[in-house]
Amino acid sequence: MANKRIKKELTMKIDIHNHFYPTRFLKQLDKDGAAAGIAVEKDEWGRQILVQHGNRVVTITSPMENVNQRIEDMDKAGFDMQILTLSAPSVDIFPVEVGETLARVVNEEIAQICRDHPSHFMALATLPFLDPDRTVKELERCIDELNFLGACIGTNINGLGLDNTLLYPFYERISDYDLPIHIHPRAPADKETYKDYRLGPMIGFEMELCVAVVRLIMGGVLERFPNLKFIVSHLGGAIPYLAERIQNCYEAYPECQENISAPAMDYLKRFYYDTVSFFEPALMCAYSLAGAERLILGSDYPHVIGDISEAITSIEHLKIPEEDKEMIYSGNILRLTRRDI
C-alpha cells in the first residue's frame, strides 16, 4: 500500500488547457489591435480587458500574465507543469501581416518563459493560419528553434471551417512532425443567438467544438491526414454524448460518407479530449467513448469558469484504475509529444 501511495504522489500532473496572455502581446495590441477592432481597455474595477467592436472578449486577470503567481497557484493545486498557449482571441482575426507579427511576439515571449522556468512550462505554437506559407514557416520555427510541443488552433479560422483546404499545408507539416494540435473554441459566428445570459461561453463554445470535430471527420481531413493528433477542449463539447447520433447520421445520409472510408465512430475515437469539465458523469461518458488513453488533463485556469484545483480532484475521485488516472494526468501528453521528463 505504501508503494502505491508513493507512486501516486510522484505522478506528474501536466495542464494542457490554460490561458496566458504575454505582456508584449498586450502591448502590441495597443499598436495593431485596431486592425481587427481589438483594444486593451480597463473596466470599472481597473482590470485590463480585451474589447472587440465594443464587446468584452476577456478579462485579463493577474495570473493570465503573472508567471510567478501561476507557479504559486500550480504548486498549491498540485500541478507540476502547464503547457502555455494563446487561445482566444488568437491572431487569425487580424490581417495576415499583423497576425504574423503578433504570432511571433506571442511565441517568442512564451519561449523565453519556458527557458526561464523549464520545470514548470512548455508551449504550443500560435500561428497565422490565414496564410499557409507563413503558417508553416512559423510552425517550423516554433518546433525546430523554440522547442515547442505542437500547435493550438481555433474551432474556426476567422469563420473558415477546419476542413478548409487552406489548412492542408499546415496539417501535412505537423503530421510530419508527429505532434499534437489542441483545438480551442472561438466565439460563435452567430452572436445573436448567444447574446444573453453569457450563452457563448456557457454552450456556444461547446457547439463550436462539436462543429469542428464533425467537419474534420466528414470533410475528410482525418482520412487525408491519418497521422493528425487532435486534442479537443472541454471533453469535445458534447461530442461523447452525441457520438451515437453522429454515427446514425453517418449511416443515414450519403453526404456524410462522401469523404471518409470508415464509420464516423471510428474517427471519433481517434481524437483526444482534454478534461475541462470536472463533472463526473461527463468525464465517465468521455472515458467510455475514447478510453483513458485518449483523455488529457486540463484546467481552463485562470478563467472564472475554470478550476485549477478541481481539474485534479475531479480525476482523483473517478472510480477508474490508478493506471488510467496516471495516463490522464501526464502519461498521454508525454507520449503524444514524445517527452521524457
* pLDDT tens, position by position, 191-243: 778 777 777 778 878 999 999 999 999 999 999 999 999 999 999 999 999 99
Strand arrangement of the beta sheet that strand 121-123 belongs to? 14-15, 81-84, 121-123
pLDDT, residue 10, reads: 60
Quickly state the pLDDT bin for 341 (edges 50, 70, 90): low
Q: Over range 268-279, report the average pLDDT.
A: 96
| Low-confidence winner among 55-64, 82-91, 237-246, 272-281 (lowest mean pLDDT) | 55-64
Query: 23-32 vs 96-116: helix axis angle to the nearest 10?
Result: 160
Give the whole-number percent of the chain exceeding pLDDT 70: 95
The confidence band for 130, taking pLDDT boundaries of 50, 70 and 90, is very high
Distance CA(207)–CA(211), nearest Å, equals: 6
Q: Give CA–CA dist 230/103, Å, rounded.
A: 21
Residue 51 has pLDDT above 80, yes or no: no
Ordered domains of the chain (ranges, CATH):
2-20+62-337 (3.20.20.140)
Cβ pair 59, 47 in contact under 8 A: yes
β 48-52/121-123 pair status: unpaired
Pairing of strands 230-232, 272-274: parallel
3-state SS assignment for residue 80:
coil
Residue 8 predicted with pLDDT over 70:
no
- Please give the average per-residue pLDDT across 260-274, as a whole number: 97
Q: Is the pLDDT of residue 3 over 60?
A: no
Out of 9-13, 40-44, 155-159, 244-248, the most confident range is: 244-248
Answer whether residue 9 shows pLDDT above 60: no
**Distance in angstroms (rounded) separating the CA atoms of residues 253 and 216:** 17
pLDDT at residue 55 in the model: 66
Reported as a pLDDT band with limits 50, 70 and 90, residue 47 is confident
Distance (Å, whole) CA 277 – CA 314: 9
User: Tens of pLDDT along 84-102?
Assistant: 998 777 888 888 998 999 9
**Other residues' Cβ atoms within 10 Å of the Cβ of residue 284:** 14
Question: What is the rounded average pLDDT of the residues 134-151?
Answer: 98
54: left (phi over 0), alpha (psi -120 to 50) or beta: left
- Has residue 6 got a pLDDT over 70? no
Model confidence at 329: pLDDT above 90: yes
Question: Which amino acid appears at position 45 of this protein?
Answer: W
- Mean of the pLDDT values across residues 310-320? 96
Question: Of 8, 45, 15, which is closest to residue 231 (Cα–Cα)?
Answer: 15
- pLDDT value of position 192: 77
d(CA 284, CA 272): 14
Q: Is the peptide bond before 263 cis (omega within 30 degrees of 0)?
A: no
Mean residue pLDDT of the chain comes to 90
CB burial string 179-191: b at 16+ within 10 A, e below: bbbbbbbbbbeee
At residue 37 the predicted structure's pLDDT band, cuts being 50, 70 and 90, is confident
- Residue 21 confidence class, pLDDT cut points 50, 70, 90: confident
Tell me: pLDDT of 1 over 80. Answer: no
State whether residue 260 is helix, strand or coil: coil
Cell numbers at residue 87, please?
487561445
The rounded distance, in Å, linking the Cα atoms of 151 and 326 is 24
